[in-house]
Amino acid sequence: MDGVVVVFDFDKTIIDVDSDNWVVDGLGATELFDRLLPTMPWNTLIDTVMGELHAQGRTLRDVADVLRAAPIDPHVVAAIRAAHSLGCDLRVLSDANRFFIEAVLDHHGLRGCFSEINTNPSRVDADGRLRIAPHHDFHAGPHGCGLGTCPPNMCKGQVLDRIRASADARKRFIYLGDGRGDYCPSLRLAREDFMMPRKGFPVWDLICENPGLLQAEVHPWSDGKDMQETLLRLISRVLVEESTLLPLDCKLESLPAAVQDGMPMPLGVKN
């Protein structure tokens, strides 16, 4: 089976908050953050705040503890596990950072479901301080995307192009996101792919301005339950469509049991 690549944004898609703001507020650095916000780029700001928190005695464990409490809908957890169990290739494409994302995925037992995390890099220096860097070093030059919705540190469309180039050309993509930065990759999806924008969020508003610009089918979602049902329905559809291209004696062997029985994909924790 050719299969499906599912690309997830992280903030307000996997978790229901912005992870940077969640950590800043949770560790009592909101006033510092607000004061520095007008003076420096976002990645530099988060790195600076992490340095100030370290100087105040905050540890990596403190940061991770706050992240473990970030709200995540159990339907989203179930959707990720179900998609992985069905053989989909899951990727993260996010403007958060690696430490924040991995802390959350590890806590919920999801890190092994993802083959790749594309995000702003992070590292722990010799003093135990968390350092955050931009995915694209905009100080060295622009990333070259002229769309106007991508931040200077990351063009998700360019990252998606790389993912597509490295994958089997027959694979179909499902992209889930909420923010302005998710609009650029939505324009790079093919006719056979699916875009899942979060309804009422910036990427949905941008798509609605001119839906004809997208080649991919658009399937919006509003909450975790909605995401789970929509994502697994699309995966089921791809698997059924692929099965029609197989020789008859291979079809039932290739389809998951839920599809063979005429049922939708497993919904995990759905009541």
For residue 56, the 8-state DSSP code is T
Q: Which long-range contacts (CB under 8 A, 24 or more apart) does 41-48 make?
A: 41/134, 41/138, 41/152, 41/153, 42/151, 42/153, 43/120, 43/132, 43/133, 43/134, 43/153, 46/20, 46/97, 46/132, 47/131, 47/132, 47/133
Ordered alpha helix ranges (H), 86-198: 98-107, 156-166, 183-188
The verdict on whether 11 is a catalytic residue reads yes
Phi, psi for residue 186 in degrees, rounded to 5: -60, -30
The one catalytic residue in 9, 18, 47, 193 is 9
Q: Is 62 annotated as a binding residue?
A: no
Helix, strand, coil percent values for the chain (each to nearest 5) = 45, 15, 40
Q: Is 18 annotated as a binding residue?
A: no
What SS3 string covers 170-237? CCEEEEEECCHHHHHHHHHCCCCCEEEEECCCHHHHHHHHCHHHCCCEECCECCHHHHHHHHHHHHHH
The one catalytic residue in 11, 47, 89, 182 is 11
Q: Is 89 annotated as a binding residue?
A: no
Q: Which residues are annotated as a binding site for Mg(2+)?
A: 9, 11, 178
Q: Which residues are annotated as a binding site for substrate?
A: 20, 95
Residues that are catalytic: 9, 11
Q: Which residues are annotated as a binding site?
A: 9, 11, 20, 95, 178
